[in-house]
Structure 1
Amino acid sequence: MNCKTSKLRDAISLALVVSASATGAAFAQEATTLDKVEVTGSRIKRTDVETSQPVFSLSREDIQAQGLTSIGDVIQNLTANGSTLNATFNNGGNGETRVSLRNLGANRTLVLVNGRRWVAGTGLGGATDLNTIPTAAVERIEVLKDGASAIYGSDAIAGVVNVILRTDFDGAELNAYYGQFSQGDGSRESYDITIGSSGERFSAMFGAAYVKENPVMAGDREISAVPIFNTGSDFGSTTSPNGRFALCSGVFTSGACSVDQTRPNGVVGQFGYDEGQTPAQWRPWGAGVNDVYNFAPDNYLLTPQERKSIFGQASFDITDNVRFTATGTYNNRRSEQLLAAMPIVLGTGPGAGVQARTISISPNSVYNPFGQTVSRIQRRAVETGGRSFNQNVDTFGFVGALEGNFEIADRYFSWDVGYSYGRNDQNDTTNGLFNILALRNALGPSFIDGGGVARCGTAGAIIEGCVPLNLLGGVGSITPEMLAYSTFVAHDEFQYEMKQWFANVSGELFELPGGMLAFAAGLEHRTESGYDSPDALIASGNTTGNSRTPTSGQYSLDEAYLELSAPLLRDVFLARELELSVATRYSDYDTFGDTLNSKFGFKWKPFDQLLVRGSWAEGFRAPSISELYSGVADSFQQIADPCSTTFGGGYNGLTPDQRARCHGQGVPVGGYDQGNSQIRISVGGNPNLLPETSTSKTFGMVWSPTFLSGFDISLDWWNIEIEGAITAFSGQEILDDCIRNNNTQACGLYNRSGGGNIDTLLAAGLNLDVIEAEGYDLTVNYRLPETAWGSFSFSWDTTYYASYEENGDGNNQVGEYDDANTANNWRIRSNLLTRWEMGDWGATWAARFYSKQDENCQTMVDYGYADLCSDPDRYIDTPEGPVNAAQNRLGGATYHDASVYWKAPWNAKITLGVNNILDKDPPVSYSTFANSFDPQYDVPGRFMYLQYNQKF
């Protein structure tokens, strides 16, 4: 086979060291004598790795220098990456780590492994979980910062991340890693071994790896020890361990009492308990220091994971021109998220589900001393130890192919045919949930039998196995026996499967003035399927947690593509090289129909030191199975109802027309007490969704001056427009759009129960959004000449986000932090890596910069914490007059990471490193969900690690 040579690998490795986003002329001259390879962003095999598109690369050495144990965390540090899931997402996380190029959403970034589409995440698919790719198997990462649907199909709107696995490994290698935070927590350990052999016609490699990442508790960092930093427990939950209750002396039916609810003394209001009190020792709710619960310390700040993986690659030359290749990976991930104990909300408690509204504490319960129905029930069951969400995920990946080459009339052609398979199997277990059916029995009539044992039911109708539940006695009143009966362990199953058949051919057709006209063409057939099978109790809604219905779905498609590369001129005046490239792809889906997407690019070298490049591309994203078919599920979102007077609802700040809309929906004059900042809403799929469409444009230059050897700089402008973007509006956006903006469509998505509380609210995806994003990428590389003090090199990569607008409203969101929408919109993200090498010693210093942002701080003003906002007196003009719109400044943050290594005589390498060596704290945010800093920033504390590499 002539597809791969040692000379080629060495040349590519050299290019990656200086970052292939800006390769110099010297490398291009070297490469022209080499065999042809496929580069990210093109299917045409070529000797020149420079294309019309900007590509940024990280070598294995660059990856290891970051001191991270997850390939997902490495990719998170890319300057072009925006806000996505990672291990710092506890409330709302699922153990996955994703990438979102241009901050356009993880489902608009395509992830490839060895140039092949990687299986989507667990459940019903969508974005890729980067933790399913074994870190030890990775050779390099290539990032295409351009739309590429014409080359790779759906999802490549914002760009492509191509993870290249190790191949042709000869020998053995062992790696060990251990690190932890300076506070003594969050330890991580990693071990892997790789063994391979490469011969004349056969090569094989096998590897195995183990990674364990331990948690950090939110209570162990000052910034996360309370729900909102600097406010104590004021923003805690009113569903506390001591409880919040009310009696109904009238008729109680399905979440309503026919008369005012009272305390045991007959006074209207609610009552609660202090720790250690008996049910009869009640006190008015709101008079105790423990009525607002600080749930933050019970949460993970950094979630734990344990990953085991094996990977292998083999190839065999069947003939001199035909080779069989196979690559297989298996990864098992066990991860966990831990939340505060389950809030038991029943009866008239705000946010109670359909089944939960029908439950009250019977006046005949042995634990009810009041002789009346307890109709309002809010009690945090801390006796459970919290809610633990556990994932056990198996990911399989396999690619088998025949590949070869041939020549016709001195024309070189290569081909490959094969099959790609990927599957995620996920089993979830959740502890700390309550069974609604069991609660109905345990809170119903009960009695003490002749042996002094509390029994459910009546003497003539005993409910066997049931244990009466005491919610009216403060913390500690729920015994292990009560929990054993009333709680349950939820078991959920998910699967996502992808099958793909492919056939490709690439070659040269005829001579043009600048070289051979080259092409690539291919056919692909792909099927994707998935299911979500929740626990039976969750599906029925008979649980105090989020309910959802079982779902399954699939789709299939056929695709054909053609790509041409036309070198028009070479070695003439003002055109050392001029090349045009075009590509088009036809896709036929069995869901929405067909689509055709094309791409055009050019690269022009007026002289050797300067490359000018540009591209225009159409793109699309097919709706995922989750977006199409996901069943109805519960979601508890932090919502400040504008018609409420609590939790920053802002009723008092509404205009007369806005208040009238509240009153028309049943809200009392004067507003209402929302009762709970977390409101139960429903989310689900929409089978009528159409694909998103996009147009991407890039234009840039690469300069490699001959007078400054080892230096190159690239600057690229990019612009992306997306139409028909699938958007699921949050509950907060729906309520605000209805009440504040009088959007009747939004008003039709929810209704209220008596007293003004939100009863039901449905949020489903719609093809309504229009997005336009624009910015610049700058990459500078400089490798200095060898000196007496060793060799030095610098790599500086920066993304400047110029604008981000939705629906043509003229509101540039860059620099505005909005956790409920696109979250981080940094104007600048920048990474600088400095490397020093001298003999057996070396060191790196890396700086990661995030620019400042402004967030809406009006809620803090409304709640009496104006002094926490950097600009509490900010006003904006509206048609109805000036409106207070307080802001808070999230200052810029720079993290510094350093490492030093020594190459030992026994063919080993020992590295000692510290990430966040200056102990930089993240900027405080007052709007981030479930935290006081955004999860894209580092967890506070220095992280120290030791790496050992041994080659045999």
Structure 2
Amino acid sequence: MINFKKSGLLASTVMASAMFAAPALAQDAAGQTPGVDPQQTTTAPAEAVAPTDQAQSGQDVVVTGTLIRNPNLQSSSPVTTVGQQELTLRQTNVAEEVLRTLPGVVPNIGSAVNNGNGGASFVDLRGLGPQRNLVLLDGSRIVPAGFSGQVDLNNIPLALVERVDVLTGGATTTYGADAVSGVVNFITRKDFTGLELNASEQITEQGDGNVFRVDGTIGANLADGRGNVTFSMGYQKAKPVFQGDRDFAAAQIDSVTGEESGSGTTVPLRINLGNGTGTRQLNPATGTLVPTYQLFNFNPYNVFQTPFERYNLFTTARYEVSDGIEAYAQGMFSKNKVSTVIAPSGTFGNSFAIPYANPYLPAGVRAAACAANGVVDCANATGSFNATLSRRFVEGGSRISEYTTQLFQLRGGVRGDLSEHLSFDVYGTYGESENNARSTGQGLRSRVQAALDATSTTACLNKDAACVPLNVFGAAGSITPQMFAYLNVPTTAATKTSLGTVRGVISGDLGFTSPGATEPVGIAIGGEYRHYTAESSSDLPSQTPDEVLGAGAANPDSFGKYNVKEAFAELIAPLLADKPFFKALTLELGARYSDYSTSGDNWTWKAGGNWEPVSGVKFRGNYQRATRAPNINELFSPTVTGLDNFATDPCQGAAPLGNAQLRAICIAQGAPASSIGNIEAEPSAQPNNRTSGNINLGVEKATTWTAGVVLRPDFVPGLTITADYYNIKVRDAISQPSFGDALNACFQVANNPGLSATNPACTAIRRNPLTGGLFGTADAYVPLDYSNSGRIWTDGVDVAINYHRELSFSKLDLSFNGNWTNRSRFQATPVSVVRECVGYYSNSCGSPGAGSLFRGSIQPEFSFNQRTTLGFDGVDVSLLWRFQDSVKYEPLAVQELLNDNNADTDPPLAQFQRIGVQHYFDLSSRIQATDNFEFTVTVANLFNNKPPVVGNTLGSTSFNSGNTYPSTYDALGRRYAIGAKLKF
């Protein structure tokens, strides 16, 4: 990205398109006004959709997609721009919220994700995973939020954002690794002078989800315009929207039966005494064990909008120290807190030793335990028996995790002219991000065990004076506040990252032109050094497997770092101009050499060009060989057992009784022989996986290319039409198999005579030694290892239409930004199935290779945004239409369920296997009351379109929640926002 001083240059742009994500907790889901002709201006905002390669920002022109300092040379890469006016009309408060609605962008962790949100928000371009796109601030990298290297969008200072450029397609040659699927570049306002105050308030029609935001910006020029200082500060607070306050989400729905369902961790408790007894539920009235009759509805506790609070400061300064030499600086500080609220904790199938003489143990349960363990004289039984308990601590209230992030980043540099044709820009940046997590309401397994190990109601056998004997055997209310207070120990963890960068670029032109051209050949050369570190630490309970109940995974201390040295060069050469059939012809070339301390060296390169045969018609194309080096999480993350999402288990139910080979496989995985016929799928559809980093990972390699046309017909002034085809292929992709892929590697071939229980894909899966399930202990899991074995393909077409016209009574702006995705395929390993996920949803579809937390989002085949704006004297009225194509449950997932040798694992109900087309309309009006005051009123989801209901077990816990997909479909309903701006 290069800044240019040139007034009057107008851009027409457009074309729209974890380790820091928290592990999903044991939840228990059963289961310029852009787009106008360059010679025209308009005051009515539009949905940035007219691709070009430049955009106006005050007096500075910032080019996203090229390093070359020449505003008359255009990059061949299409760029989508969302301008400040569009952000104003949408009354957007967090960058992630507007980015996820752009066609071609797939929702990721953000404000609509509750269980699995670790306090950060990410963007996912083209559905290739947030680790494969890059987020920049004024063309410079931002310190990442966690081990996976992704930038937390919660920290972006929207008050100073002039526009957002989204370059989709490979950009690693220009910006380095992580830009395989593209770049999001937030461009801030330059040379701001005066005072500006902004305030906004938003609330849903049902009176919840209030969002308040206030920002203040002040700026002044120095020394007769030789310098400028700008300072901005802001505050924002968003309140939650509970799922229980929406009728479609008040009760959890089973996606297979269509009936109200819930979690198997419930109250009264469910208990498995081992030795083939199966899991049964306590009837407190009789003290006996009976078949399960009551599950727990966890939906009302969860939220559709996470509570959020943010303070941010941002400042920029520049000063021309001498003719042609300018020093500049930028600083950003942000402190934000994201809270997640989920259902009460409990014992999620954990195993405990319980004395036969426990004072709260009902006689019927004691008798059943004696029978299961062969104790004849039960009345005088001594010692303890082992059992797995599934008991919800409803008495303790919700589990609340507070993620507080503090980020700062400083940037300082010098830029200027080396000659008439060349300039330089040298800068350094340093940033740190620290996320502190504090969780309450969970309970510790060791304390539950100590409190169960009692033979009286007054003291525990461990002699701990603080220990209070625990009654898990009664109805709701049997756990007293004193009992739960002993269990409830707050847990803490911290993740800290840093990024230091030194970068220098020389750019401009060579001072000569090709024989047939009028513009000189542009060039840029430079080098960059980056150093990344990431470390995490946590208290002892958080580091201990199975200790923090309902926490999803242990959080051991970890550390990783790497550095990279890079050199790069770009060239844009105008070859012909103003010739027959060659109004303009331009060649673009680029190359980058990278040397990573962890994965060695590699090259990337690009070749592209623009051909304008006649005025108003331009063809453009770009081909790139891109790479992505493994991040700290993929290299250095410790081995942990955590939660995944899968509703069925091939070993569940009676199927192994009639299939000797299936029975042998289940036993080889660690299931006791006595459990065969009684093995349960995890009742929350959250079985265990095991993951770890792999220091032997190499870089993944990609080829990306785009080909498109830009039309600005002279006979229709103000009209711009663009269409661009994109194609991205990634080989040696750093990936993990999905949970389903790992199961299929064993069980889809269980009837093959050439395979047996000794198949490594089968024996790598480990089962609970008491119950045979894939849950309840950290020693039961399905391994999901990182490797360079993946392959990813995606291609499609972006179409943008933008039209501006002066009418007799108003100004009219029409814009259309659409995406058609032809395919999005992922193969985790050479022996895995090839998954096609465009237009499909399931537990296995989502961001490939990004880990189980990022799977399960939806990528429709076709989507578009269309905005119509009428601008009157001082008043704009605008309607935004957002369209999402219909989607279906993944056919491959249906086939896998039918082929897993188990009649008890059924596909979802037919009515939940399709989601119809969705239309959302947002109406906005901006009124310029005086020269210094304007206000904006917005009604989002004007017609109160309710989200589609599909139950809670079709996708990952992060994205399939409240019986719908709240990141993809609007679960909040109609809401109103009003904003005011005062400027001097």
Provide TM-score, normalisation by structure 1. Answer: 0.88
Cα shift readout 1:22-56 (whole Å, capped 9, x = no counterpart): 86477999999x99854111000112363211011
- The verdict on how the C-alpha distance between 1:375 and 1:833 changes in structure 2, with shifts beyond 3 A counting, is same
**Alpha-carbon offset, residue 104 of structure 1:** 0.8
What is residue 558 of structure 2 aligned with on the other side?
Answer: 551
- The verdict on how the C-alpha distance between 1:428 and 1:3 changes in structure 2, with shifts beyond 3 A counting, is closer
**Alpha-carbon offset, residue 493 of structure 1:** 0.6
- The verdict on how the C-alpha distance between 1:327 and 1:652 changes in structure 2, with shifts beyond 3 A counting, is same
Question: Which SS does the other structure have where 1:438 is aligned?
Answer: helix
Q: 1:440 aligns with which of 449, 458, 461?
A: 449
1:428 aligns with 2:430: no
**Counterparts of 1:197 and 1:653 in 2: how far apart (Å)?**
79
Cα shift readout 1:304-348 (whole Å, capped 9, x = no counterpart): 111110101111110011111101111111011111111214xxx
What is residue 282 of structure 2 aligned with on the other side?
Answer: 272
**Counterparts of 1:15 and 1:640 in 2: how far apart (Å)?**
42
**Alpha-carbon offset, residue 671 of structure 1:** 6.5
Q: How many residues align?
A: 883
Q: 1:236 aligns with which of 248, 262, 278?
A: 262
1:405 aligns with 2:417: yes
**Alpha-carbon offset, residue 818 of structure 1:** 2.6
**Counterparts of 1:863 and 1:641 in 2: how far apart (Å)?**
8
Judge conservation of contact 1:504–1:522 (CA < 8 Å) in 2.
Answer: yes
What is residue 395 of structure 1 aligned with on the other side?
Answer: 407
What is residue 184 of structure 2 aligned with on the other side?
Answer: 161
- The verdict on how the C-alpha distance between 1:709 and 1:675 changes in structure 2, with shifts beyond 3 A counting, is closer
**Counterparts of 2:55 and 2:567 in 1: how far apart (Å)?**
30
Q: 1:707 aligns with which of 703, 712, 715?
A: 715
- The verdict on how the C-alpha distance between 1:767 and 1:212 changes in structure 2, with shifts beyond 3 A counting, is same
Q: How does 1:685-700 map to 2 (within 5 A)?
A: 685-700=693-708
1:147 aligns with 2:170: yes
Cα shift readout 1:103-157 (whole Å, capped 9, x = no counterpart): 11111111111001122223x1332211111211211111112201111110111
- The verdict on how the C-alpha distance between 1:573 and 1:26 changes in structure 2, with shifts beyond 3 A counting, is farther
- The verdict on how the C-alpha distance between 1:837 and 1:520 changes in structure 2, with shifts beyond 3 A counting, is same
Cα shift readout 1:195-230 (whole Å, capped 9, x = no counterpart): 001242110000111111111111111222222278
**Counterparts of 2:361 and 2:762 in 1: how far apart (Å)?**
41
Question: Which SS does the other structure have where 1:477 is aligned?
Answer: coil
- Determine what percentage of the aligned residue pairs are the same residue: 28
Q: 1:750 aligns with which of 765, 768, 783?
A: 765
- The verdict on how the C-alpha distance between 1:557 and 1:608 changes in structure 2, with shifts beyond 3 A counting, is same
**Alpha-carbon offset, residue 242 of structure 1:** 1.5
Cα shift readout 1:64-92 (whole Å, capped 9, x = no counterpart): 11122111111112112013111111111
**Counterparts of 1:654 and 1:48 in 2: how far apart (Å)?**
74
**Alpha-carbon offset, residue 663 of structure 1:** 5.9
Q: How does 1:164-175 map to 2 (within 5 A)?
A: 164-175=187-198
- The verdict on how the C-alpha distance between 1:760 and 1:802 changes in structure 2, with shifts beyond 3 A counting, is closer
- The verdict on how the C-alpha distance between 1:669 and 1:310 changes in structure 2, with shifts beyond 3 A counting, is closer
1:899 aligns with 2:920: no
**Alpha-carbon offset, residue 393 of structure 1:** 0.2
Q: How does 1:179-578 map to 2 (within 5 A)?
A: 179-199=202-222, 200-228=225-253, 234-245=260-271, 270-274=280-284, 281-286=286-291, 288=293, 291-345=294-348, 349=349, 352=350, 357=351, 359-368=352-361, 370=363, 373=384, 375-376=386-387, 377-407=389-419, 411-447=420-456, 454-457=458-461, 462-509=463-510, 510-513=512-515, 514=517, 515-541=519-545, 542-544=547-549, 545=551, 546-578=553-585
Question: Which SS does the other structure have where 1:151 is aligned?
Answer: helix
Judge conservation of contact 1:239–1:379 (CA < 8 Å) in 2.
Answer: yes
1:736 aligns with 2:744: yes
**Alpha-carbon offset, residue 643 of structure 1:** 2.5
Judge conservation of contact 1:915–1:943 (CA < 8 Å) in 2.
Answer: yes
Higher strand share: 1
What is residue 152 of structure 2 aligned with on the other side?
Answer: 129
**Alpha-carbon offset, residue 658 of structure 1:** 5.2
Q: Please, which runs of 5 or more residues in structure 2 have no aligned partner? A: 16-31, 42-51, 367-380, 775-779, 847-856
What is residue 61 of structure 1 aligned with on the other side?
Answer: 85
- The verdict on how the C-alpha distance between 1:693 and 1:307 changes in structure 2, with shifts beyond 3 A counting, is same
**Counterparts of 1:725 and 1:469 in 2: how far apart (Å)?**
50
**Alpha-carbon offset, residue 864 of structure 1:** 10
- The verdict on how the C-alpha distance between 1:654 and 1:526 changes in structure 2, with shifts beyond 3 A counting, is farther
Judge conservation of contact 1:13–1:59 (CA < 8 Å) in 2.
Answer: no
**Counterparts of 1:127 and 1:655 in 2: how far apart (Å)?**
46
- The verdict on how the C-alpha distance between 1:653 and 1:319 changes in structure 2, with shifts beyond 3 A counting, is farther
What is residue 10 of structure 2 aligned with on the other side?
Answer: 11
Cα shift readout 1:856-908 (whole Å, capped 9, x = no counterpart): 485999779989414xxxxxxxxxxxxxxxx7111111110001122112621
Residue identity in the other structure for 1:283? T
Moved more, 856-865 or 628-637: 856-865
Q: How does 1:629-778 map to 2 (within 5 A)?
A: 629-645=636-652, 651=655, 661-662=665-666, 665=669, 666=671, 670=677, 672-674=679-681, 676=683, 677-741=685-749, 744-752=759-767, 753=769, 756-758=772-774, 759-778=780-799
- The verdict on how the C-alpha distance between 1:6 and 1:577 changes in structure 2, with shifts beyond 3 A counting, is closer
**Alpha-carbon offset, residue 287 of structure 1:** 6.0
**Counterparts of 2:55 and 2:950 in 1: how far apart (Å)?**
50
- The verdict on how the C-alpha distance between 1:907 and 1:271 changes in structure 2, with shifts beyond 3 A counting, is closer
Cα shift readout 1:404-455 (whole Å, capped 9, x = no counterpart): 1132xxx41110111012221110001112223322321113436xxxxx12
Higher relative contact order, structure no. (Cα contacts within 8 Å, ≥ 6 residues apart): 2
Cα shift readout 1:578-606 (whole Å, capped 9, x = no counterpart): 11011000000010100000000101111
1:869 aligns with 2:881: no
1:889 aligns with 2:900: no
Cα shift readout 1:140-195 (whole Å, capped 9, x = no counterpart): 11111220111111011111111011221010111110011111111111100100
Residue identity in the other structure for 2:812? F
Residue identity in the other structure for 1:767? N
Q: How does 1:763-802 map to 2 (within 5 A)?
A: 763-784=784-805, 786-802=806-822
- The verdict on how the C-alpha distance between 1:569 and 1:82 changes in structure 2, with shifts beyond 3 A counting, is same
**Alpha-carbon offset, residue 232 of structure 1:** 7.3
Cα shift readout 1:599-633 (whole Å, capped 9, x = no counterpart): 00101111111111001001111111111111222
**Counterparts of 1:611 and 1:139 in 2: how far apart (Å)?**
27
**Alpha-carbon offset, residue 570 of structure 1:** 1.1
Judge conservation of contact 1:125–1:530 (CA < 8 Å) in 2.
Answer: no
**Counterparts of 2:869 and 2:208 in 1: how far apart (Å)?**
29
Question: Which SS does the other structure have where 2:877 is aligned?
Answer: strand
What is residue 621 of structure 2 aligned with on the other side?
Answer: 614
**Counterparts of 1:233 and 1:868 in 2: how far apart (Å)?**
10
- The verdict on how the C-alpha distance between 1:170 and 1:240 changes in structure 2, with shifts beyond 3 A counting, is same
**Counterparts of 1:415 and 1:484 in 2: how far apart (Å)?**
63
**Counterparts of 2:970 and 2:199 in 1: how far apart (Å)?**
23
Residue identity in the other structure for 2:117? G
Residue identity in the other structure for 2:449? R
Residue identity in the other structure for 2:480? T
1:805 aligns with 2:825: yes
- The verdict on how the C-alpha distance between 1:228 and 1:729 changes in structure 2, with shifts beyond 3 A counting, is farther
Judge conservation of contact 1:37–1:45 (CA < 8 Å) in 2.
Answer: no
Judge conservation of contact 2:266–2:296 (CA < 8 Å) in 1.
Answer: yes
